[in-house]
Amino acid sequence: MKFFLQRGRRGWIIAGEKVHYVGGNLEAAWEEAFESYGLNKRRWNRVLLIGMGASLMQIIARQATPPMPFCTILEVSEEMISLQQEHFSLPLMHEVIVGDAAQTLPQLRSSYDGIFVDAFVEEEVPESLLNLEFVERLRTLLSPEGLVFWNVLLPAQAQRIQQLLTAVFPAVRHRYSAPHTIWGSAHKASAFPTPF
């Protein structure tokens, strides 16, 4: 994978050929999703990030009710890890597990209050994540009142992810902030702070 740093209005952006991986439109989409889903001042004990996202960590840290959550990060690219550690504030206590999330996710044993799937190869969610086995594993790792959020760019993949999430989770919502569709899922509708 090839990444590069560029200066944005609010600071550094890590970009690829077609997308921003950290900062820029991606950060704005997550901020809008937090507002829409009513996640401001939410208490998170443990958070799982699939795809390392400094801007997402910063939003969680700004919006969370203290004490701050501990964050487990699954990231396939060592280059991405280095760029984020060198150029961005990572305000949450965290651990990074290097490898494909489809392979590293089964190693996890904790329960998470928030799971954020934000993994891309340019515009595409990796094919290894687009299956029922992966989504079932997310379900088993999610705490009873927890929430899963999944960011997707391509409309065809957004439909696939909708099908996978609705096959596994009783409560599924979505938020569209062009070009991002951010799906939200939970064990029950009452886990969402805002009504359907």
- 118-141 pLDDT per residue, tens: 988 778 899 999 999 999 999 999
Are residues 191 and 171 in contact, defined by beta-carbon separation less than 8 angstroms? yes
* Two tokens, residue 30: 């997550």
Q: Domain holding 71: CATH number?
A: 3.40.50.150
- Residue 4 has a pLDDT of 62
What span, in angstroms and rounded, lies between the C-alpha atoms of 98 and 109?
Answer: 16
Question: Domain for residue 37, yes or no?
Answer: yes
CA-nearest of 37, 35, 36, 13 to 24 is 13
pLDDT (0 to 100) of residue 179: 87
Task: Write out the residue range of the structural domain in which residue 126 sits.
Answer: 4-191
Indicate whether 54 belongs to any domain.
Answer: yes
User: For residue 196, is it within any domain?
Assistant: no
- Whole-number pLDDT of residue 189: 95
- The number of folded domains in the chain is 1
Q: Which of 154, 169, 148, 190 is nearest to 33 (CA)?
A: 148
* Ranges 21-25, 114-118, 154-158, 177-181: which has the least confidence: 21-25
pLDDT at 82: 86
Quickly count: other Cβ atoms within 10 Å of residue 73's Cβ: 24
* β-strand partners of 176: 181
What is the rounded CA–CA span in Å between residue 132 and residue 185?
14
Residue whose C-alpha is closest to residue 68's, from 51, 89, 43, 50: 43
Supply the pLDDT for residue 24.
67
Res. 75 pLDDT band, cuts 50 70 90: very high
pLDDT band (50, 70, 90) for residue 86: confident
111 falls in which pLDDT band (50, 70, 90)? Answer: very high
pLDDT in tens, 10-65: 777 766 766 655 566 778 889 999 999 999 999 999 999 999 888 899 999 999 99
What distance in Å separates the CA atoms of residue 131 and residue 126, rounded to the nearest whole number? 11
Specify the 3-state DSSP secondary structure of 50: strand
Residue 98: inside a domain, yes or no?
yes
Residue 75 resides in a domain = yes
Contacts of 140 (CB under 8 A, 6+ apart): none
Q: What pLDDT score was predicted for residue 14?
A: 67
Q: Residue 122: its pLDDT value, please?
A: 73
pLDDT at position 83: 83
Within a domain: residue 30?
Answer: yes
